[in-house]
């Protein structure tokens, strides 16, 4: 029996992932900032939202397909951008891009990816969207956008909720760093997880590929303050496709983004990884929808753990939703089969 057969929901995937991954890697994925109050609230707040069933409606013909940013997708969910995914499972970025194309759902490749943007784009084609962090100054941000555009990416996600990288206590306690610094405790952690260690070593230790030279290093804790309203304007002028701004929780910001002509916003608190005092996005979503009107494109993530959460987000004003940790845990738990399984579970539950 494959390990994916033991996955019946995203919590199973998380448990199996914990048993497979070195603590250092599991905590990087599952951890959040501060006391992890925001991350826990993201999940728990969904319990307070109730769904009211309606009677005597013919539901014999149903469809999960939906449109977002002018594109038609088979499901109202996709895969959120996550850096260093290949730490969960070798080739994770490509596995996600492949399945995105196969099942017609969007997959976002992060600036902090360890896979070449070209390879991801040839696997996912237009289902792969590019997520931009402005590290090392606005010029480099614009340069990265131009590189992505020249490869063929058409949809860009500008993440704006990391003006300053947050302290994540699990990472500090475990000595998690990108690139890796391997001391005694990390060595022991890897040694007692030989399957992960051999698999990861033999496929090459993941490194952030967009930051490889001396004057353009990736520091996980570096600030990403290069993105301001002026930068957004410049980005708009060079990017031909759609731009969606990720990490919005304030009604004022949402209204301003609409007024400057951005294509859509993404309501998110980064899975609680950035600001521990931030509200749960599901609590803010209806207010933002009211402020923007019914037609403005809104994506949503943070805390979605099963299909009823997705239904609650859609009913609260989201047009589209994205999954974060459940995807990486499923990959860590059972590789490609785990990824297929979790997407099928969400699909079946939704249908």
- On the question of a cis peptide bond just before residue 32, with omega within 30 degrees of 0, the verdict is no
Instruction: Confirm or reject binding of residue 304 to ligand FNR (CB under 6 A).
Output: yes
Q: Which is nearer to ligand FNR, 142 or 160 (CB)?
A: 160
Q: Is 270 designated active site?
A: yes
Question: Judged by CB under 6 A, which stretch of 74-82, 146-154, 184-192, 221-229 contacts ligand FNR?
Answer: 74-82
- Residue 206: CB minimum distance to ligand FNR, A: 12
Instruction: Spell out a b/e string for 263-275, using b for 16 or more CB atoms within 10 Å of the CB, else e.
Output: bbbbbbbbbbbbb
Q: From the list 95, 112, 245, 257, which residue makes contact with ligand FNR (rule: CB under 6 A)?
A: 112
- Residue 82: CB minimum distance to ligand FNR, A: 4
Instruction: Spell out a b/e string for 161-197, using b for 16 or more CB atoms within 10 Å of the CB, else e.
Output: bbeebbebebbeebebebeeeeeeebeebbeebeebe
Instruction: Confirm or reject binding of residue 82 to ligand FNR (CB under 6 A).
Output: yes
Interface mask toward ligand FNR for 19-58; x: CB under 6 A? ---------xx------------x----------------
Instruction: Confirm or reject binding of residue 136 to ligand FNR (CB under 6 A).
Output: no
Question: Judged by CB under 6 A, which stretch of 212-220, 266-274, 310-318, 335-343 contacts ligand FNR?
Answer: 266-274
- Residue 106: CB minimum distance to ligand FNR, A: 12
Pairing mode, strands 242-248 and 320-323: unpaired
Residues that bind ligand FNR in the complex, under the rule CB under 6 A: 28-29, 42, 80-83, 110, 112, 131, 159, 246, 268, 270-271, 273, 301-304, 323-325, 328
């Amino acid at each position: 029996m494959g390990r994916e057969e033991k996955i019946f929901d995203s919590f199973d995937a998380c448990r199996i992932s914990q048993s497979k991954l070195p603590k250092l890697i599991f905590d990087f994925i599952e951890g959040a900032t501060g006391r992890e109050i925001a991350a826990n609230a993201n999940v728990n707040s969904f319990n307070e939202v109730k769904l009211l069933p309606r009677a005597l409606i013919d539901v014999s013909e149903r469809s999960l397909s939906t449109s977002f940013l002018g594109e038609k997708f088979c499901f109202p969910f996709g895969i959120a951008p996550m850096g260093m995914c290949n730490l969960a499972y070798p080739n994770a970025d490509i596995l996600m891009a492949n399945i995105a194309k196969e099942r017609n759902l969007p997959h976002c490749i992060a600036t902090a990816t360890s896979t070449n943007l070209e390879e991801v784009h040839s696997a996912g084609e237009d289902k792969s969207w590019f997520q931009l962090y402005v590290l090392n100054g606005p010029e480099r941000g614009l340069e990265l956008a131009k590189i992505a555009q020249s490869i063929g990416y058409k949809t860009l996600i500008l993440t704006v909720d990391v003006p300053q990288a947050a302290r994540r206590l699990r990472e500090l306690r475990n000595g998690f760093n990108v690139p890796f610094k391997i001391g005694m405790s990390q060595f022991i952690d890897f040694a007692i997880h030989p399957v992960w260690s051999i698999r990861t070593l033999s496929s090459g230790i993941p490194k952030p590929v967009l930051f490889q030279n001396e004057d353009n290093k990736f520091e996980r804790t570096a600030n990403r303050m290069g993105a301001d309203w002026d930068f957004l304007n410049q980005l708009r002028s060079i990017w031909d496709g759609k731009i969606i701004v990720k990490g919005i929780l304030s009604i004022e910001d949402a209204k301003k983004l609409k007024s400057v002509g951005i294509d859509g916003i993404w309501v998110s608190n980064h899975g609680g990884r950035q600001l521990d005092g931030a509200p749960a996005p599901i609590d803010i979503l209806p207010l933002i929808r009211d402020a923007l009107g019914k037609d403005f494109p809104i994506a949503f993530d943070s805390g979605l753990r099963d299909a009823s959460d997705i239904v609650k987000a859609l009913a609260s004003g989201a047009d589209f939703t994205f999954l974060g940790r459940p995807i990486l845990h499923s990959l860590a738990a059972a590789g490609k089969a785990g990824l297929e399984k979790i997407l099928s579970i969400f699909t079946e539950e939704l249908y």
